[in-house]
Structure formats: structure tokens, C-alpha cells
Amino acid sequence: MNTHGSEVKVFGRTRPTANFAQDLIEYVPDGQTVNVHLRKDSKKGIVNNQLNSWSFRLDRVLHDVSQEEVYNGVAQSVVLGALDGYNGTVMCFGQTGAGKTYTMTGATESYKERGIIPRALQEVFREVEQRSDHNITVHLSFLEIYNETLLDLLSSVKEIPAGAPRAVAIVDEGGGSVTVKGLSIHLVHNEEEALNLLFEGEMNRIIGAHTLNRNSSRSHCIFTVHIESHSRTLSDAKYVTSKLNLVDLAGSERLGKTGSEGQILKETMYINKSLSFLEQAILALADRRRDHVPFRQSKLTHALKDSLGGNCNTVLVANIYGEAAQIEETLSTLRFASRMKCVRTEPAVNEHVDPVLQIKKLQKEIQLLKQELSVQDTLANRTVMSYNGFTENQVAEIQSQVRRYLDGTVDDINIVSIRQVKEVFVQFKLALQQQEQKTRAEMIQGCTQEEKAQSTQSAAHAKGTNGMVGDVDGPSFGAGMASTLEKNNRLQSPHRSKIKKGKDINRKEGAASPAQVREAEALSTSRMNPLLVSQKDMEGQETELQNQDSQGPQAGDREHFRTDSPPPKAAAFEDFKAERGSEINRILKENKSVLAERRRRLRELTDGVNGAKQEIDRTGVQLQLQRDQSNRHGRFVSAGGEPVLEEAELALLLRLQDLKGQYRHQYKELRSTKAEVNYCEHLVDQCRTRLFSEFESWYNESFLIPEETQAILRAGGPTIQPGLIPMAKALALEEDDQEHFEHLRSQLLTSPGAISYFNAHDRTLQRRNYSRTITHKLQQKRITGDNGRTKLPAILSVS
Ligand SMILES: Nc1ncnc2c1ncn2[C@@H]1O[C@H](COP(=O)(O)OP(=O)(O)OP(=O)(O)O)[C@@H](O)[C@H]1O
């Protein structure tokens, strides 16, 4: 059987008869084609266009052939495929009495004339014996569909176990397959057991009396062989399963022809209906554009859902009763056969994995790999490594290593295995989480203390500082150190700041040409980038902008002040802070004042801690002196022989204890205040970054980006908004259009003089537009008396 994508195999088989309609049915010698010729209907007149010749091409025409030949040609490959794990279906279709049951089951009284099912069972068990390297189990089930009712033809064979569903129903499984719940499945060990079940089922089959054929079966029957094959030799967890469906369909017939009535009429109607649904399903399967196949319209199509096409090897035998009286049924059967031939199949092995075996296999493989690693370690002279999970002690050791690494006691952590690296990362993460929790708790505690201190107006708070600026560095007593920020502030000399300021003014205020504007933009963007600009830089920049404004334009800068030039950035910055940026500026100021207050408190606490330390040192010296003196004079001894403390020594000891307690308390508060200072510095930084970035956007859009470009940006909808795209990009946008136009024109005008002329003309127009925009803005300002330059288009979000 072809296991690659192909069509359903279709065979035609004729029932032998002495009255074979030779003039109507023609078997072409190629063995594949059947031609049917009908006589013109004389009732429709001498001249009519009624079609009266058809040609059907099948896979093979089985005319006058033995049962053995039929089995070998039709079913053998499907049966062998099923043993290899492919689902298979052999189905007989045709009118009543055409030989479907004869083909499928055969004549029970003659061994020679046995049909496909007994031969298939024989083949299966022959193969089971031959394939001794496989453990193959075979189960059988026999389903009958009679008048749209599902019946288990083998239910009489053994008692149905308690709890098992009695009603038979078709259930859709995942992956498009179906199972028949409630249908008994019987394990068979040999051919004889299997045949017994087949005959038992046949006996149970409902036989209806019929005028055309007294033994005609009036139901569809599906005999299924379930095969499961495990390899005996390989310890492979994979195994295959398959379903071999051998289907004997009820005969199609015309109601009027059989003269059926009563029960037979009802049966015939059911049969015809289900066969018509089968035909519809086949049509849908054959049409590759259709993604829905109406399988659920009848019990027959539903039960055969995974047996028609799909991943199944499907074969159809079209049984023909070749007499002249049956010619219309023959035609109808051949039409069905040719439609079935268009259905594509893609057979695939039903492979499964035995979970228990798979686990065993993987465990074995892990063991092997561990052994391999041990060998490699020995060869590489590595110390004996363990590849099992870490014990609690080993985890604790790694944790301690990480701690020592973090506090600087060790410089390296030796990497010995991937597992160890993973554990090291876990410990790093844990350490980070703990630190975060600690900091958060300290901050919360600090805030509470601060609130308390403010409400009680404590004396310590009101006490002035002695001017000693210092910060305790680490837990050792009194080792004071100026903070990085303070140092930076002190180091930043006025001279240095002035030089920088001068440079910045020249750079920014001279921004008249687009190229210069872009350069300034690039420079200022890099300066304003919150990721690149340090707090020191930002503070310096803020001061610079303020200073520029307070000093006014320098003599050298004044020459840049033309009506078409943007205003100095410093002045614009002040305007911006007063209006558009007033809210963020207010928040910045508030944050700065909180920061200043916290820094002051930090200084107070540092003084306090230093003072306490000095007092502890002094008291310690006094205590030592007192002890020396007491030792010199000789100590009093108690009744128990213990030396007794003198009153002065005891007083000093108590004071020392008191001072240490005080020191610890103050030091704790100092640490939490330090954390608060850091946090406030971060807030101030964020506000400052936002103030600058909003100012930059506003300044660019108000004074640098030409009106036309802004219009283009506004027209760009919500995705392109002024204020949300960088200056350089905005100018590039304008330039792209311009370049495009220039390019176009240079193609049109061949004279170089004319191109230069237009270029110069355009530059003049550009300049005029630019100065007109600025003049317009200045006029607006004068009319409204408004200090604001223009509206900020969009607020930049601070990340
Ligand atoms: N190829 C054949 N060789 C010899 N006898 C045949 C052949 N085909 C059919 N017959 C005989 O024709 C009769 C009717 O055949 P059969 O019962 O198989 O038809 P059927 O299509 O199954 O009918 P129904 O649809 O009513 O079940 C039987 O007696 C059978 O032995």
C-alpha cells in the first residue's frame, strides 16, 4: 500500500450472471475502464439531448475473478499496512444483491469462497507469528448500524462488566479520530478465535425479507480489527497502533423498484438517507477547497469519520449487478466510485510513546551520561565531581561564598559546574531581594521617625549644627566622610562653570541655520538624555541657564539677536518655568526643599554620632584611669572573694553604657536618613530631567521647527506628534521632501544655471518663512501680553 499522499483506491467488481448486459456495460481491455451505454428513452422523442454514454476509470475492474484474487488485489496491502501502524479501511458499496457481503465475508459454506474479512484475519495472525520480534495484540469489534441505531454485534459474546457503558455512542476524539463508546472489544489470540467472533456477529445480523433478495442484509456493518504492536527487541518506548475497518454497507436501491412497504420501506429509507449522506461527505472530502466535511449528518458517516481519506489507507469496492434491469443502479454505483477516487489520503503511522518505558529509558541515559562525565573528569584530572542535586550543606556553602563575595572578603567564586553556576545566581537573587526588603523597611521606619520628630518639635531637631559636614562611612565608630555630592559641589569651581557656560551660550544661541540647529539639537539631546546626564551635569546646567538669564545677553552674543533668531535659551527657560513648566518646576522645588531638609538632618545626625563617639572615647579613658587608680590602691573584696567595684568606677561604667545606647540609636537613625537622602536625590534628578526635556521640546517647536514641518507632523495623526519626535528627525522630514523636489527639478531642467537659480530662490523662501514664523509669535505675545511663547503640544512622559 502506498503510504505517501494518494487517492482512495477504487475497484469495480461484477456479480456473475448469465444475463450480463453486454450491449450496455463494456469492460475496456485496459482492465481499468468501464463504459456504460444507455438506450435513448423513446418516451422523450426521437431527437433528444439526453446523455447516454459514460466512461468510468477505476484502479482496477474485477470481472470474473476469484475471491483470492480480490483479496490479494484489494485488501492485502491494507492489512499489511495496518500491521505496520497505518489505519486501513476496505469498504463495499453497491446495490442490493450486487455481492457486497459475498466480497466482504464470502460464502460461509465454502472455504474457497471466503471473503476479505476471513482472509484478512488469516493474514494478520500469519504475520503475528512471523513477526516474532514484535509483541502484537489483536482485538475485534463488530458494529452494526440499523435504521440509525448503533448495535454491538458481539455483545452476546461475554458479559459486559459492571460500570461499562451499555449504550453505544460515537464520540469524537482529538485529532479528528472517533471511538465508539459502549462497543465491546474482544482480545483474540489466534485466527480461530477471531473467526468465531466474526460468525457470531454475522449470526446476530438483522436479516430482512426482501422481494429482490431474501437474504439481503438491511444494515451497515463495520468489522474492526484493532492492532497494537510493540517491539520485543528494542527497549524502545515507541509503539504503533492501527484500526482496520472492514465495512459492508447496506445495499442502495430504488423504493419503487423493490415494491417495499412497512418495515422494509422504513429500512430502505434509512439506508438511502445514510448512503446519500455518505455521498455528500465523499463530495466534500474530494473538494480540496472545502474545510468542513459533514460527517455528523448520519451515524454511518460519523462512525467512518477517521476511515475515509485522512491518514487512512482507504479502498472501495464498487459492487455491480451487471444485468440490464439493474443498469441505473450500476450507473449510480460507478458514479459514486469515481467520486470516491478523487478523495485524497495521507496515510501516517500511529506512533505512541509508552510513558513508563520512556522514563526508564531516560533514566538509563542519564546514568550513562553521568558515568561518561565521571570518566571525563578523571581523564582531565578534575577533583571528584558530583552530578547529583546539591545537598542542604552544599547550598549553604554556596550561599556563604556569595555573601563573602558580596562583602568583598573573596574576589572570586570558582566555577566548577553548570549546576553550581545556577545555584550561585539563585543566591545572588536572594541576596538582592533581601537587601531590597531591608532598604524598604528602613525607609518606612525612617519616615515614621521623621514624622514623629516633626510633631514633637524635638530639641535635637532644633539644635544648630557645628558646621562639621560628614557622613559615617560604614559601621566603624566615627569615621566621618563627606558625601560624593557635597564633594562634587565643592569641587565645581566658579571658573570652571563659567568656561562651560560661555561655550554653551555660543553653541546654542548661534543656532540660526538648519545645520547648526541640528548640531545644537544633537548636542543638547545627548546632554538631556536622562541615562547619560549625571546629576552634577544637570544641576550645573540648570544654574547655567539661570545665570545666563540673570546676566542677560553677553556683548558677543548680542549680534545674534535678530528678529528672526530664536530667543536665548536661558531667558526662554525662565519663561517656560513660569508658565508651561510651572507645575513640574514647582514639584522640583518642593523636592529640592525636602532634600535640603533631609541633608540638614543628616548633618545633624552625623554631628550627633560623632559627638557621641567622642564622649564614649573620653569616658573610656576616664574609666581606664579610674581602674588603674583602684588597682594601685588595692581593691575591696566581697565576702565571696569577688573584687568590689568602687562607686566612681560604677558611675563611669553606667555612663559608658548609656552613651553606647545613645550612639546606637542615633547611628540607626542616621542610616535611615541617609537612605532617604538618596531617594530624594533620585526624585530631584527625575524632576529635573523631565523639566529639561519638556523645555527642549517646547523650545524646538516654538522657535526652531518651521511652521510647515509642524503642520506635517500634526497631519501625521497621533503617531507623529510634535514634541514626540526628535528635532533632527523633524528637520530631516522636511529635507526629504525638499530633496525629492530638487531631484525632480534637476531632471526637468538641464541648464545648470537655472538649477542654481531655483536653489537660491528656495533658500530665500525658506529664510522668509522662518522669520515670518518668529515675527508672528512675537506679535502674538505682544497682543495677548502673555509671557508664554506658544502652547506646548504634548507632554512628554517621564520614564
Ligand atoms: N462474485 C460472485 N460470485 C459468486 N456469487 C456471487 C458473487 N457475488 C454475489 N454472489 C451471490 O449473489 C448473492 C447476493 O450477494 P450478496 O448477498 O453478497 O449481495 P449484497 O450486495 O451483500 O446484498 P445486500 O445489499 O442485500 O446485502 C449471493 O447469493 C452471493 O453468493
CB 585 near ligand 1, within 6 Å: no
Of 133-137, 316-320, 537-541, the range with the lowest mean pLDDT is 537-541
310 has a pLDDT exceeding 60: yes
- Rounded to 5 degrees, φ, ψ at 224 are -115, 130
Q: Which atom of ligand 1 is nearest to the CA of 98?
A: 21
Delimit the domains of the chain by residue range.
6-353, 354-380, 389-444, 732-799
The three cell numbers locating residue 93: 458499496
**Cα gap 586→381, rounded to integer Å:** 68
Distances (CA, A) of 156 to 112, 159, 205, 575: 29, 7, 12, 99
For residue 770, the model assigns a pLDDT of 55
On the 0-12 / 13-18 / 19+ scale of CB atoms within 10 A, 103 is buried
Helix (H, G, I), strand (E, B) or coil at 27: strand
- Ligand 1 centroid–CA 16 distance in Å is 9
Could you tell me which of 584, 560, 796 has the C-alpha nearest to residue 701? 796
Could you tell me which of 762, 769, 766 has the C-alpha nearest to residue 744? 762
Could you tell me which of 552, 16, 63 has the C-alpha nearest to residue 323? 16
CB 661 near ligand 1, within 6 Å: no
Could you tell me which of 420, 386, 378 has the C-alpha nearest to residue 401? 420
- Ligand 1 centroid–CA 14 distance in Å is 10
pLDDT in tens, 3-30: 455 778 999 999 999 988 888 999 999 9
Max Cα separation, the chain? Answer: 157
DSSP code of 114? Answer: B
Overall average pLDDT of the 646-658 stretch: 88
Query: What average pLDDT does the chain have?
Result: 75
pLDDT in tens, 547-559: 544 444 443 443 3
Of 102, 252, 329, best ligand 1 pocket probe by most atoms within 8 Å of the beta carbon: 102
Strand partners for 220 = 145
- Ligand 1 centroid–CA 98 distance in Å is 5
CB 92 near ligand 1, within 6 Å: no
pLDDT bracket for residue 724 (50, 70, 90): very low
CB 349 within 8 A of CB 86: yes
Q: At what angle do helices 752-784 and 707-715 cross, to 10 degrees?
A: 80
Q: Could you list the residues known to form a binding site for ATP, using ranges.
A: 94-101
The three cell numbers locating residue 43: 418516451
- More confident of the two residues 566 and 34: 34
b/e per residue 143-171 (b: at least 16 CB within 10 A): bbbbbeebbbbbbebeeeeeeeeeebebe
- Ligand 1 centroid–CA 268 distance in Å is 18
The three cell numbers locating residue 434: 533581601
Q: At what angle do helices 116-130 and 191-204 cross, to 10 degrees?
A: 160
Of 11, 15, 95, best ligand 1 pocket probe by most atoms within 8 Å of the beta carbon: 15
Closest residue CA from atom 2 of ligand 1: 15
pLDDT bracket for residue 466 (50, 70, 90): very low
Tell which CATH classification among 3.40.50.10420, 3.40.850.10, 1.10.3720.10, 3.40.50.180 matches the domain 6-353.
3.40.850.10
Overall average pLDDT of the 372-386 stretch: 78
CB 310 near ligand 1, within 6 Å: no
CB 94 near ligand 1, within 6 Å: yes
pLDDT in tens, 73-101: 999 999 999 999 999 999 999 998 899 99
Q: Could you list the residues known to form a binding site, using ranges.
A: 94-101
123 has a pLDDT exceeding 90: yes
Give the angle 332-336-337 at the CA atoms, nearest 5°. 115
Helix (H, G, I), strand (E, B) or coil at 56: strand
- More confident of the two residues 284 and 593: 593
CB 332 within 8 A of CB 324: no
283 has a pLDDT exceeding 70: yes
Distances (CA, A) of 347 to 30, 85, 288, 290, 746: 28, 10, 17, 20, 66
- Rounded to 5 degrees, φ, ψ at 414 are -70, 130
